[in-house]
């Protein structure tokens, strides 16, 4: 489920909790998009902290939901849901701080890549396991987190990057022990919330207006290749073994590529 709590300082804390690994079903992506847009539309809200409960921040889309669908409704829903959630982060009228712990895979990259600021725990890892499941997507957002050639290597190999690496690239604001993550994100949020909200909202709009590329258009372009792979049967072939391998975990205890982290069905979705 998705919950939103707004405190007296105007900090809206949006929390994602979809056990076991925060791999969101179609409805979950739309629910998250609605929560983000509602927070931005609330005049009392000055900043949003997007966080998660459980083992990791986000493991992409729920592949099993797609596997259960004999047609393409779940695939289309996942693509549209991810598109809506990623856009809602980017277009939220106030700054969005992503507080990331554990694994951030597939759709998680789409969320944090469109955030305004990222605070991460020391155990956080970031990656796109798409190619292992016959899908593509969120290269748009990964390219906002790491240099271009690093992003290509990560996509082609399904390799992950640590929070410390992203901190060195300048895309992660700070790295803290896991038990301090929420407090660190809220401390930063309080600093932003203390500013004049009229100026901060305009600053967010101004930054989006001068962005170097249109994240909505480029991500939608990527999604077209995911549809091609599905229509060609490639994605179904690679996803076929997901159920039998979903219990396997990669080093560090994060879901193995595709363990509920089917990003490309929407691109990491």
Given a cut of 70, is residue 267 above it in pLDDT? no
Size of the chain, expressed as the number of residues it contains: 269
User: What six digits make up the tokens of 119?
Assistant: 């605070």
DSSP 134: T
- Which tens digit of pLDDT belongs to each residue from 172-190? 999 999 999 999 999 999 9
Q: How far is CA 16 from CA 111, 250, 253, in A?
A: 12, 23, 20
b/e burial code for range 153-191 (CB count within 10 A of at least 16 → b): ebbeebebbbbebbeeeebbbbbbeeeebbebbbebbbe
Q: How far is CA 92 from CA 46, 138, 166, 207, 229, in A?
A: 11, 19, 23, 12, 32
Given a cut of 60, is residue 223 above it in pLDDT? yes
10 CB neighbour count, 10 Å cutoff = 21
Of 185, 242, 54, 36, nearest to 28 by C-alpha is: 36
Give residue 259's pLDDT: 40
Given a cut of 50, is residue 107 above it in pLDDT? yes
- Which tens digit of pLDDT belongs to each residue from 129-143? 988 888 888 999 999
* Residue with token string 């690239």: 169
pTM of the model: 0.90
Give residue 188's pLDDT: 98
CATH 3.90.226.10 correct for 2-177+201-244: yes
- Which tens digit of pLDDT belongs to each residue from 48-69? 999 999 999 999 999 889 888 8
CA distance 156 to 264: 13
Given a cut of 50, is residue 33 above it in pLDDT? yes
Give residue 88's pLDDT: 98
Provide the sign of the torsion angle of the four alpha carbons 21, 244, 78, 134, taken in this order: positive
Pairing of the two strands 125-127 and 96-100:
unpaired
Mean pLDDT of the chain: 90
CA 66 from centre of chain:
19
Helix 215-231 to helix 73-91 angle, to the nearest 10 degrees? 170
């Amino acid at each position: 489920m998705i919950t939103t709590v707004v405190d007296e300082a105007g900090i809206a804390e949006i929390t994602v909790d979809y056990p076991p690994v925060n791999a969101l079903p179609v409805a979950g992506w739309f629910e998250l998009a609605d929560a983000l847009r509602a927070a931005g539309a609330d005049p009392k809200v000055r900043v949003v902290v997007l966080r998660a409960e459980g083992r990791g921040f986000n493991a992409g889309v729920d592949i099993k939901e797609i596997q259960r669908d004999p047609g393409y409704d779940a695939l289309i829903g996942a693509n549209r849901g991810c598109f809506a959630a990623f856009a809602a982060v980017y277009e939220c009228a106030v700054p969005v701080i992503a507080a990331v712990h554990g694994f951030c895979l597939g759709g998680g990259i789409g969320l944090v890549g469109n955030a305004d600021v990222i605070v991460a725990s020391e155990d956080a890892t970031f990656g796109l396991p798409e190619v292992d499941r016959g899908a593509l997507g969120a290269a748009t957002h990964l390219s906002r987190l790491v240099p271009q050639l690093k992003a290509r290597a990560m996509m082609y190999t399904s390799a992950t990057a640590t929070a410390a690496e992203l901190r060195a690239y300048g895309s992660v604001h700070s790295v803290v022990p896991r038990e301090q993550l929420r407090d660190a994100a809220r401390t930063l949020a309080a600093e932003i919330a203390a500013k004049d909200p009229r100026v901060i909202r305009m600053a967010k709009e101004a930054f989006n207006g001068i962005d170097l590329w249109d994240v909505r258009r480029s991500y939608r372009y990527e999604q077209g290749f995911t549809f091609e792979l599905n229509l060609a049967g490639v994605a179904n072939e690679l996803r076929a073994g997901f159920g039998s391998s979903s219990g396997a975990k990669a080093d560090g205890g994060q879901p193995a590529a595709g363990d509920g982290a089917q990003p490309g069905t929407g691109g990491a979705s």
